[in-house]
Copies of this chain bind each other. A is one copy, B any other.
Amino acid sequence: MKVAVLGTGMVGQTIATKLASMQHSVMIGSRDRNNPKAKEWIGKVPKLSLGTFAEAAQFAEIIFICTLGTGTLPALKLAGEKSLASKILIDVSNPLDFSKNNQPSLFVCNTDSLAEQIQRIYPKTRVVKTLNTLNSKVMVNPSTLTGPHNLFLAGNDENAKQVVKAFLEDNFGWTPTSFIDLGDITGARSAEMLVMLWIRLWNTLQNPVFNYNIVTPT
């Protein structure tokens, strides 16, 4: 499948590399198609190429947005409404604001979310919020952790969520029982707000490699 991964940071790099190893053709989208740092690691992996946000979005059947939260809407603007229309957009980004001196906060939350903003601006795009609640190592290899743990999804398009689940099962090894559907795209509020706990837990556990398992009565 032709996949776009928008964002050249650790998350984009991990997802793109994993998908390339699964024989997908992956174009990394960057603001600068000659980004020297990105060129270096992309050049080492077969099936990976580098393009602008617009080129990557146009190329792809399915798109991951893995930029910093502050870069998400600008990157999608450069990708272009036409190239995003009708495609599945997996939104992995988090609206983190590191500009305050004391500690990270979110630049949108509570009564809105970054995923909802995307869905409002690109109504024809099938936005699925997922993977944003965990470290990229666990995203592409859930068995890094022992025992069951969960992955949340939210989105308005039921079919898109089914496609994403199957894609994450086939390529990353998630299992059908690991998914928890938080409902429509407003469910992204709770998934994005969970990042505040994620940061705090990282600090407590001194390790970003963990995930949540929802425990119910047997």
Which of B148, B196, B210 is A189 in contact with, Cβ under 8 Å?
B196
Secondary structure of the A contact surface, majority rule: mixed
Q: A148 vs B214: C-alpha distance in the bound complex, in angstroms?
A: 10
| A194 CB contacts on chain B under 8 angstroms | 193-194, 197
- Give the size range of A's interface with the partner: 35 or more
Q: Which residues of B contact A215 (CB under 8 A)?
A: 145-149, 210-213
User: Contact at A110–B103, with CB atoms within 8 Å?
Assistant: no
B109 lies within 8 A of A110 (CB):
yes
Q: Which chain B positions have C-beta within 8 A of A23?
A: none
Q: Would A200 and B207 be within 8 Å (CB), given that A105-B110, A145-B216, A213-B212 are in contact?
A: no
- A residues adjacent to B (C-beta < 8 A): 100, 103, 105-106, 109-111, 144-149, 152, 180-183, 186-187, 189-191, 193-194, 196-197, 199-201, 203-205, 207, 209-218
